[in-house]
Chains A and B, each alone.
Chain A
Amino acid sequence: MKSDKLILSVLEWLEVRGLKLFFAVLVLLVAGDVFVPKEEGAFPGHTWAGFYAFFGFAASLLITAVAKGLSKLFIHKEEDYYD
């Protein structure tokens, strides 16, 4: 099939260039945020440039920490726990 060849070649290209591209986009997003028009913020800091960038990164850390922490604490059980 043609389409799967195409997809695989795109993936190969991404494997080489993807990381650089990703970081470039990250920098552009935060830098460009300064020029984005904003409405009234819901709370202090809401309208700062890069607020959501910080928020996204912090949220991913928070979720991982809480989920893994609770799992270690008592949520995790062996596969055959209910059997």
Chain B
Amino acid sequence: MIDYLNPAWVYLLGALGMPLVKKQRAAYLLAVPVVAGLFWLLLPMGNHLSFDFMGRQITMIRADALSRLFGLVFILASFAGALYGLHEKHRTNLWMAAFFYVGGSLSVVYAGDLITLFIFSELMAFSSLCLIIFEGSDKALKAGFRYILVHIFAGVCMVGGIAIHAVKTGSIAFDGLGVSDLGGQLILVGFMVNAAVPPLSAWLSDAYPEATIVGAVFLSAFTTKTAVYCLMRGFAGVELLAWMGAIMTLYGVGYAMLENDIRRLLSFHIISQVGYMVAGAGMGSHLAVNGAGAHAFTHILYKGLLFMGAGAVIHSTGLRKQTDLGGVYKFMPITMTLYMIGAFSISAFPLFSGFVSKSMIVAAAEHQHLTAIYLMLNIASAGTFLSVGLKLPYYTFFHREWRGEPVKEAPSNMLAAMVFMSVLCIGIGVFPGPLYALLPNHPVHFESYTPWHVVGSLQLLLFTGLGFFVLLRFLTPHTGVSLDTEWFYRKGFYYVGRQITSAVYYLDTVMNTLYLSGFAAVKRISKSGRWTDVNVVDGAVNEVGRFFKRTSEDARRMQSGLLRGYAFTMVVAFVLIAGYYLFGGR
């Protein structure tokens, strides 16, 4: 019985039971993660609940070091998220979506086969969509629609890949997949979309800032990190990923520099931070994979904290742009302090959690003599501190006197959630031992607190700070949007659509012209009575066609509505096919 204690099911059942619990909702929301935590402790290692389904081996639960690592941090993040959202505890739909989302990602993390994995990642996609569109604004709806289309594309890639992989290897087990065949490649593309690897990343920065405040806290933790888990499990050591990850770190940092919306700025930093993990998975050494796992763990905690801080500011002020904010520290000093703990963590200051995890990945790059990647990762570190640690807090909390009515500090449940996360961030930073003990590759020979590491990091960060003050006047945020790959489906799609439509129109015209000229030639050749029959019949048909064309008010986009055209197309096709077999084929 104890074999079946999958923490994911606690959330899925918890979501289903949500509408029944109205009175004790707050306790319920907090109890579900606690029970899940209990399950996490009790679930023994190994494969459980394996059965045969359509001739394939389904394994619903696979508990090993890697899935336990991600499982634990997901449970912690969901507990903090629930605490953070307690003031909105009566939005039943929102909480159902959130718990389905958490349950979905835990199921993916514990899945031992590709079919289970796929089904639950679809559950994640649709429940996370709800977290976005429940915001209710028109922008959120549209962003949500784009979001789900991208994720469906990823899903389709995964299905195709899984099918091909299953046929080629005869197995649907989710282990190292490799990219040697089309199946593995398609699955990789699906995971890369979910991990927001550029150029497939625009969905993230497009949708997350439009989500509900509570929803964004959840979103920041699960989708991309689940994808990182999948990449670590399935594609560790694929060199492409090491390079893509390094590019990602810089890509996110660069766009964040230009961003005005505080949650979008943080979203770009999700891309950047996930870049470290993708690079770690791609490098594939024991140290790198451990680093990717550790970084995912710490990242979920500090990124959640940062999104909580940004959400608290939006909750209190109703504003979300740096150009509108400024001087908030007077009213929200606690939020500011807790936000800064998150900012120091993401910037990898010594004694904060980012330091003990990020340095593993950077060190792995150094050990594998990937100097270019090593330098790129370090530049991204500087950029992270520059925008999350300096620019965003400077323009949000300080910069100038607050212009509007005085605002209130965030509600106590939000602060409590942020304190919870802060304690974890500092705790891991000071005592990395327990985290290292959870990592997948044992034993962990890594010491983050060497003098060179500490002094080097401090130099890097503080001189970046110096750079910030020197460059301050260039860094003032502006209103506006930054072009990203989303252009292709927000703008480009219409262009392409128009091109296709006009091409079809063109073909149709060509067909009709061809027909008419051919018809005229035939008429000239044979004026004798033998053809009058045909002409009369055909003419009548034409007239019928014309009549109905006039009467039908709908635009016939691709159809001329004329029978002769249809018949002619059929004849042309017949001649083509017959010609192929008579003259070309066998």
Contacts and interface: CB of A to CB of B under 8 A. Distances in A.
Interface of A: 1, 3-4, 7-8, 11, 22, 25-26, 29-30, 32-33, 36-39, 42-43, 50-57, 59-64, 66-68, 70-71, 74-79, 81-82
A2 B254 CA distance: 39
Contact of B462 (A29, A32, A81): A29
Interface stretch (B327-335, B352-360, B549-557): B327-335
10 contacts: A1-B334, A7-B336, A8-B330, A11-B329, A33-B455, A53-B459, A55-B460, A56-B467, A64-B475, A67-B254
A74 B329 CA distance: 35
B409 A59 contact: no
Nearest to A59: B382
A59 B460 CA distance: 9
Interface string B355-384: 000000000001001010010001100110
Chain A: interface secondary structure?
Answer: helix
Given A55-B460, A63-B253, 11 more contacts: A4-B334, A29-B458, A37-B452, A51-B456, A52-B463, A55-B378, A56-B466, A59-B467, A60-B382, A61-B471, A77-B480
Given A59-B382, A82-B490, A75 B455 contact: no
B420 interface: no
A79 to B, nearest CB: 5
A78 B382 contact: no
A57 B465 CA distance: 8
A80 B25 CA distance: 41
B482 A29 contact: no
Leading 6 A-B pairs by shortest Cβ distance: A60-B467, A56-B463, A59-B382, A67-B257, A52-B459, A56-B460
A47 B491 CA distance: 49
A36 B480 contact: no
A18 to B, nearest CB: 11
Contacts of A63: 253-254, 257, 379, 382-383, 386
Contact of A71 (B258, B456, B459, B463): B258
Contacts of A54: 463
Interface in B379-429: 379, 382-383, 386, 409
Contacts of B366: 42
Contacts, number: 140
A79 B457 CA distance: 37
Contacts of A66: 254
Contacts of A32: 455
Contacts of A68: 257-258, 474
A33 B333 CA distance: 35
Contacts of A70: 254
Contacts of A59: 378-379, 382-383, 460, 464, 467
Contact of A53 (B337, B371, B386, B463): B463
B28 interface: no
A19 to B, nearest CB: 9
Contacts of A75: 258, 482-483
A77 to B, nearest CB: 5
Nearest to B250: A63
Interface centre among A25, A54, A70 (most CB of B within 10 A): A70
B468 interface: yes
Chain B interface residue number, banded: 35 or more
Contacts of A26: 462-463, 466
Contact of A60 (B333, B386, B459, B480): B386
Interface string B463-489: 111111001001100111111000000
B371 A42 contact: yes
Nearest to A67: B257
Contact of B461 (A3, A42, A50, A56): A56
Nearest to A43: B371
A61 B330 CA distance: 31
A52 B374 CA distance: 13
Contact of B465 (A22, A30, A79): A22
A64 B471 contact: yes
A59 B347 CA distance: 14
Contacts of B480: 76-79
Given A4-B334, A7-B333, A33-B459, A60 B483 contact: no
A57 B369 CA distance: 24
Interface centre among B471, B478, B491 (most CB of A within 10 A): B471
Nearest to B332: A4
A78 to B, nearest CB: 6
A62 B366 CA distance: 22
A60 to B, nearest CB: 3
B463 A7 contact: no
Contact of A78 (B258, B329, B481): B481
A28 B257 CA distance: 29
Given A7-B336, A71-B482, A42 B257 contact: no
Contact of A37 (B333, B451, B490): B451
A36 B452 contact: yes
A61 B465 CA distance: 11
Contacts of B475: 64
Nearest to A39: B452
Interface in B476-513: 478-483, 490-491
Contact of B483 (A22, A25, A55, A77): A77
A25 to B, nearest CB: 6
Contacts of B467: 56-57, 59-61, 64
Given A59-B382, A77-B483, A53 B460 contact: yes
Contacts of A67: 254-255, 257-258
A12 B337 CA distance: 14
Nearest to B467: A60
